[in-house]
Structure 1
């Protein structure tokens, strides 16, 4: 059975533990951007795609992940159970069918052993469903602790699956040993019991046990004559014993082992594997980090620009007048509808390239806008004018765009951020400029500076220092 749901749960739980050390704002921007990317591609943002996205961002890992180490340990445990079961099956069947010509192989002993094996298989299944861990000492001996997080709840099912696989290997090698001994030896079967049991009662028991395969192989259901003829006693062989009938029990023994030992183990192993997958999916769905991830993906990010959240800190006033003159640039980038429906004449004149990004534009459109500016620069470092709406606060999407631009554009390129007022012929109010000044300081003063648009009317900032 596939281990994909279990591996997905382990990888997600490990990533959730790593995210505990990250700032909430960073996690929100990262996961919100992933959700927007999935929406653009028309796919559902699930845990598997989220983990693949993070793996592409972080690159391949040289060392095995914790999920791979855990699954590798459990594969060794399961392999040990399978090998032990296979060897034990050969030895057990050889002991049950041991025959040296002086006695017969008692069918009653075989029935009792099959009943014991079936009871152990059912007990293993019940303890796994109830969540018991009788294997805890064994896990400590092999150096496997109870684990952490959601994985701890899966250990009873994992141990039950390993035990059933060992039992299945035991049953298969026992069946192979039985068929081999039937071919190479002349086995003599019979039945006997200390209790005063009549042949007719024993025959009814045999027919009830053989009911599952009576329609498939009638020869594997002993008749009353065979039961009466093969009973033996401790002190003698009895009357009317025919040695030629002693070997006619082998079809019944073969089907007995196949139907009541091999088949139950196979079904229980498949049941534990399916139950393990279902339980892993349920734990992933109800994982606390999954609820937080869904909230971050469904909630838009909003960057206020406030660098302090402590009531005892004073407001940061160092960037109140860090306004630079508007540079001479022929490239204009309009963010989220800034400059619509029409750009001011003072900004539109002399521009060789005007592109738009953000707002209704897709992520692919934003990437094309950055590439178009890169082609316009043609390897030279220059200033880019970025128009924004002054009354809208800076967002995480704009920060992501500037980070991408810094990687794509030539080194030394700078950005002059120009906040436009609702009335394009007036400068924005001072309280609307302050968030953009703090935003520019956060991004980096060597890359992003704030400028005011050129005005033909007198400016309320006249006489104030606009440079650092």
Structure 2
């Protein structure tokens, strides 16, 4: 789909949307990242397409998204999530059916279903095989109850408890590192999903080029590489098939145990080389049976003391001296133990995992760099639609919300009227202008600067200041940000920098200092301008200089730092 074709995005866009509940799935996240990545690659290859992308996304917003999100405050997390989800629905509809079927998110969903079904079938078969092996009865010696309980009850319960413990302490650094280095997910589940996706891709694409299939598989790992962005939503999709295997294993074990109890005459017993009294074993069985003892009491749900004593296996005792009722007394105890301590915990873990995934997806803020520009393009009118290639445009209306000019003093750092007692509003930011740029601006440039900033970010200016030049100025800038109160965190910072100056260590060091001030999820937008002239003191930057900065910013690996040209030209040439 050519992003420069907004004609396909008019009023008919409304029919593309499903229910406007903003609910996300893992497949949605992967497809969303893929569409955003396509746009970013297109812009890097052809900067002139920026205006077409802005027109397309604004048309999508006005064509149905704005109406669907009516009543939800703009810039709020709910509005951002709902708007982006509806944008994804519209983008999918703009593709043909075959293209949608090959989207990485759809391939992931099909691959996950395939792996889940495969693991479910394997779990049932393995559970039946293990239970049958432990219940193997040769007619000479009773089945050892201790081995069955130890392997299918105690061991499984310990695994479930370990899983729950790791999950509850997942935020601690040692546990997080342990899980990521040695987890079943990274060594088993992800290769299985990759193979399943490759198989579904090959089945769908038929004779498609090998490169296309490999590119799709590369995109599949995108969610894992964005752990810092999506948190638990990036690994819970891999945990669900593993939990399904655990549930299926226990179902298979229960089915095999019930079948053998019903259709064969098994003899059960217990024995130990240690001097363990029958009373001790009876008490242990009674404690294990507490959950079901109100419904199935002694003699049914668990053996009585006489039955425990009568089923003790002595090394030299022949089988015929035991009473048949004593040897059968353990059968329902084993079945109920397996259901209670094997199957039910796994079902609870599966339900908890699915609920945690749903909550993790619902809490995603979508405030990282990959979504900042997209969201701003949709909700912000094109304030400089008539801007020429030189970056000079006619007089434009000031946004309805009042904004104050950037302070003319290079050392000034003041609060403006958009900052209320309750803090900086959700649609406002702190603006920092590099001193080299600030010194060249006159009074008439500052309203235009704020309008351009709003067009790129959707934000007004709540506070403003300068940076660069000295460590004292850096400290004033960080103090200005550190003292800010935000009505809707995370913090939102915009920097104006002369992009003709190469990204030297000092500039990158300031970005790292700023990151430490605003926190790991604070939004930072770096807007670059070119060499000022008498006609235009906010000119666009050349593609070459912008690419130089882009490489350095990419190397920083900061998912909440976005780089943009303040005033891109129509043809992308500075």
Q: 1:40 to 1:107 in 2, by over 3 A?
A: closer
Give the RMSD, CA atoms, in angstroms: 3.5
Instruction: Provide, for residues 288-316 of structure 1, a one-character-per-residue CA deviation record: whole Å limited to 9, x for no partner.
Output: 33333333333221234333247xxxx99
Do structure 1's residue 68 and structure 2's residue 109 form an aligned pair?
no
Between stretches 63-72 and 140-149, larger displacement belongs to 140-149
Shift in alpha-carbon separation, 1:108–1:41, aligned structure 2, 3 A = closer
Match of 1:196 among 254, 267, 275: 275
Task: Work out whether residues 24 and 85 of structure 2, in 8 Å CA contact, stay in contact via their aligned partners in 1.
Answer: no
- Displacement of 1:54 in angstroms is 2.5
Q: Which residue of 1 aligns with 2:34?
A: 14
d(CA) in 2 for partners of 1:134 and 1:262? 22
In structure 2, the partner of 1:54 is: 91
Rounded to whole Å, the distance in 2 between the matches of 1:243 and 1:41 is: 71
1:32 and 2:65 are equivalent in the alignment: no
1:29 positional shift = 2.9
Relative distance call for 1:155 and 1:123 in structure 2 (3 A) is farther
- Per-residue deviation, 1:97: 0.7
Which of 84, 95, 100 in structure 1 is aligned with 2:138? 100
Aligned mates of 1:98, 1:155 — CA distance in 2:
43
Q: Which residue of 2 aligns with 1:150?
A: 223
> What SS is found at the alignment partner of 1:213?
coil
2:330 alignment partner, SS class: helix
Deviation at 1:253, TM superposition (A): 1.0
Cα distance change, pair 239–228 in 1 and its aligned pair in 2 (3 A) = farther
C-alpha contact (below 8 Å) 1:127/1:156 kept by paired residues: no
State how far apart, in whole Å, the 2-side matches of 1:126 and 1:160 are.
15
Q: Which residue of 2 aligns with 1:5?
A: 25
2:353 to 252, 272, 289: 272
TM-score normalised over the length of structure 2: 0.49
Offset of 1:238 from its aligned partner? 10
Q: Is the aligned partner of 1:215 residue 2:294? A: yes
Structure 2: distance between partners of 1:87 and 1:75: 18
Work out whether residues 31 and 293 of structure 1, in 8 Å CA contact, stay in contact via their aligned partners in 2.
yes
Q: Please, which runs of 5 or more residues in structure 1 have no aligned partner?
A: 317-441, 443-468
Query: CA separation in 2, counterparts of 1:104 and 1:217?
Result: 24
Q: Kindly tell me: are residues 309 and 71 of structure 1, through their superposed partners in 2, closer, same or farther at Cα, counting changes over 3 Å? A: farther
Aligned-partner Cα distance in 2 for 1:58–1:30: 14
1:348-390 per-position Cα deviation (integer Å, ceiling 9, x unaligned): xxxxxxxxxxxxxxxxxxxxxxxxxxxxxxxxxxxxxxxxxxx
Contact 1:121 1:164 in 2 (8 A): no
Q: For residue 228 of structure 1, what is the aligned residue in structure 2? A: 309
1:17, CA displacement in angstroms?
Answer: 0.8
Distance 1:111 1:183 in 2: 19
Shift of residue 205, structure 1, vs aligned partner: 0.9
Q: 2:118 aligns with which of 80, 89, 92?
A: 80
Partner secondary structure for residue 136 of structure 2: coil
Q: 284, 292, 296: which one pairs with 1:205?
A: 284
Q: Distance in 2 between matches of 1:216 and 1:70?
A: 45
Q: 2:356 and 2:264 mapped to 1: Cα distance?
A: 43
Determine if contact 1:190/1:246 at 8 Å carries over to the other structure: yes
CA offset digits 1:433-456 (Å, max 9, x no partner): xxxxxxxxx9xxxxxxxxxxxxxx
Q: Cα offset for 1:177?
A: 1.0
**Change in 2 beyond 3 A, CA 1:284/1:69:** farther
Q: Does the C-alpha gap of structure 1 residues 215 and 287 become closer, same or farther in structure 2, counting only changes over 3 Å?
A: farther
Long gaps (5+) in structure 2: 1-22, 44-48, 73-81, 171-175, 196-216, 228-232, 394-569
Match of 2:159 in 1: 120
Counterpart contact for 1:230–1:241, Cα < 8 Å: yes
**2:371 paired with 1:290:** yes
TM-score (ref. length: structure 1): 0.60
Written as runs of structure 1 = structure 2, the 5 A alignment for 1:272-421 is 272-283=353-364, 285-309=366-390
Q: What is the CA distance between 1:119 and its match in structure 2? A: 2.3
Residue 176 in structure 1 maps to residue 255 in structure 2 = yes
In 2, distance between residues paired with 1:278 and 1:258?
28
**Whole-angstrom distance in 1 between the partners of 2:159 and 2:115:** 19
Q: Per the alignment, in what secondary structure is the counterpart of residue 216 of structure 1? A: coil
Once the two structures are TM-superposed, the CA of residue 126 in structure 1 deviates from its matched residue by 5.2
Q: Distance in 2 between matches of 1:171 and 1:10?
A: 32
**Residue of structure 1 aligned with 2:246, choices 158, 161, 167:** 167
Change over 3 Å in CA distance of 1:33–1:156 after alignment to 2: closer
What is the DSSP-based 3-state SS (H/G/I as helix, E as strand, rest coil) of the residue aligned with 2:291?
helix
Alpha-carbon distance in structure 2 between the residues aligned to 1:267 and 1:41: 36
Distance, in Å, in 2 between the alignment partners of 1:304 and 1:241 is: 94
8 Å CA contact 2:261–2:331 kept in 1: the answer is yes
Match of 2:211 in 1: none
Aligned to 1:254, which of 335, 348, 353? 335
For 2:210, the equivalent position in structure 1 comes to none
Tell me, yes or no, if the aligned pair for 1:90 and 1:174 is still in contact at 8 Å: yes
Deviation at 1:287, TM superposition (A): 4.3
Structure 1 residues 84 and 125: CA distance shift in structure 2, 3 A = farther
